Amino acid sequence: AQRVTQPEKLLSVFKGAPVELKCNYSYSGSPELFWYVQYSRQRLQLLLRHISRESIKGFTADLNKGETSFHLKKPFAQEEDSAMYYCALRPRDDKIIFGKGTRLHILP
């Protein structure tokens, strides 16, 4: 079965500390993975996708096929990073499924 697991509902991190939001997936084929973010009172929006191998707002994520993981990382947390983060999987053509989300709370 295709599944996205985000084990942490809430992650609290001090400003300036490193951040790692965990995402594991279950899919037998070659996955396409994304991180979406929802800031307070805003729409969900794409943060980054694995194929781009990009860094957005200081965040990076590396696909580890051996561990079936796509963890989101940032070396130094900022207060504006507080938001809800969703990992998403596109197993085939148009179906896209999301994890349960992790609320990131940056402490001053």
The contact set with another protein (CB under 8 A) reads: 6, 9, 32, 34, 36, 43-46, 49, 51, 86, 90, 93-101
Residue 86 CB burial class (10 angstroms; 0-12, 13-18, ≥19): buried
Closest separation in Å from C-beta 107 to another protein:
22
Q: Specify the residue, 15 or 105, whose C-beta has the smaller distance to another protein.
A: 105
Q: 28 vs 41, which CB is nearer to another protein? A: 41
Q: Is residue 36 a contact partner of residue 44, using CB atoms and an 8 Å limit?
A: yes
The nearest distance, CB 76 to another protein, in angstroms, is 26
In the bound state with another protein, the residue whose beta carbon lies nearer, of 25 and 36, is 36
CB of 61 to another protein, least distance (A): 14
**CA 68 from centre of chain:** 13
Instruction: Find out whether 22 and 70 touch, Cβ atoms under 8 Å.
Output: no
As beta bridge partners, residue 36 has 46, 86
